Amino acid sequence: MKPEQKDIYTSLAPLYDTLMGDVDYESWADFIDEIMQTHHYDPQNILELACGTGALALSLAELECYSITATDLSASMIKIAQQKAAEFELNVDFFPMNYLDILIEKKFDCIYTVFDSVNYLKEKEEINTFLLNTYRILNPGGLLIYDFSTPKNSLESVDFLNNEEGVAGKYRYFRNSRYDAKERIHYNEFEIEELDQETGKVINSFREIHTQRAYSLHEMLSIVEQTPYHLVAKYAGFDLIDADENSARVTMVLKCQNLQ
């Protein structure tokens, strides 16, 4: 059976929480909360972009101090996020949206997107579009928080990610991962099989190819310099420690300076 090619995070959506099973979302939410409380006098209205199945937004909602909106390009991921919000009785407004085409008129105190979402933007012009779009819907003094992985992260993780497999309900997946160091493109190819729950036989087969570009800190700082944002901080990992060119993951904290 030849696998059907799918848009990213469609067939993978039912498996996403299994795929991310090792991620400590509560600690990540605490980190985002710490950044907001450190660099904003009174954050209230929060927007998450590329929220996936909503785990981070829901963890922040448990703090009961923010009004949270969360969006993702994948309608399949949003549907799962909405189901989880209803199950846990948490008030998060989830809906699908492309963060390169932000169609929200509401203003926010903080916007964040994490776990390499920006690395899916493989051209610097796309990152610039993302930055300008978010700037437009931030309140004066508002924060944009986003992370990105560097070439070091891809070099360190590619062997660990390659040949990964997992099962969730009636689905199983196999991941092939490789990193093109010359082009600095990280490829994750997922083969996803839907199984008959009685016989265990494969009844459908899907394929998703995810490509991300690894950015150096120097590259990212150069892009930010071309925008109206003010750089507040650049953190390494999950601590309020200044990042440098040896950091595997960098969290950027930018401030909106305009007087809207």
Where residue 186 sits, what CATH number does that domain have?
Answer: 2.20.25
Residue 20 lies in a domain: yes
Residue 9 in any domain: the answer is no
4 falls within a domain: no
CB-based burial label for 77 (10 Å; 0-12, 13-18, 19+): buried
Distances (CA, A) of 146 to 117, 150, 217, 236: 8, 13, 13, 12
Nearest of 41, 45, 87 to residue 70 by alpha carbon: 45
Residue 88, helix vs strand vs coil: helix
Distance, in Å, from the CA atom of 158 to the CA atom of 186, rounded to the nearest integer, reads: 8
pLDDT at 260: 41
Judged by phi (left if over 0) then psi (alpha if -120 to 50, else beta), residue 46 lies in: beta
The enclosing domain of 122 has a CATH number of: 3.40.50.150
CA R_g for the chain: 19
Is 60 found in the same domain as 185? Answer: no
Based on the domain organization, do 133 and 169 belong to the same domain?
Answer: no
C-alpha to C-alpha distance for 208 and 248, rounded to whole angstroms:
25
Amino acid 57: pLDDT: 98
User: Nearest 5°: phi and psi at 179?
Assistant: -125, 125
- Single-letter amino acid, residue 153: N
Q: Is residue 125 part of a domain?
A: yes
Q: Is 157 in the same domain as 118?
A: no
Would 6 be classed as within a structural domain?
no
Contact 121, 213 (CB under 8 A): yes
User: How long a stretch of residues is the chain?
Assistant: 260
* Tens-binned pLDDT, residue by residue, of the chain (260 aa): 567 777 889 999 999 999 999 999 999 999 999 999 999 989 999 999 999 999 999 999 999 999 999 999 999 999 999 999 999 999 999 999 999 999 898 999 999 999 999 999 999 999 999 999 999 999 999 999 999 999 999 999 999 999 999 999 899 999 999 999 999 999 999 999 999 988 889 999 999 999 999 999 999 999 999 999 999 999 998 999 999 999 999 999 999 985 44
Q: Within this chain, do residues 58 and 129 fall inside the same structural domain, yes or no?
A: yes
Element (H, E) at 136: helix 124-136
Does any domain span residue 5? no
**Structural domain total, the chain:** 2
260 inside domain: no
Question: Does 247 lie in the same domain as 137?
Answer: yes
pTM of the entire predicted model:
0.95
Same domain, residue pair 137 and 38: yes
- pLDDT for the residue 259: 45
* 241 within a domain of the structure (yes/no): yes
Q: Are 73 and 102 in contact (CB under 8 A)?
A: no
Distance of CA 135 to the CA centre of its chain: 18
Query: What range defines the domain where residue 23 resides?
Result: 15-150+215-255
| Residue 109 sits in the same domain as residue 162 | no
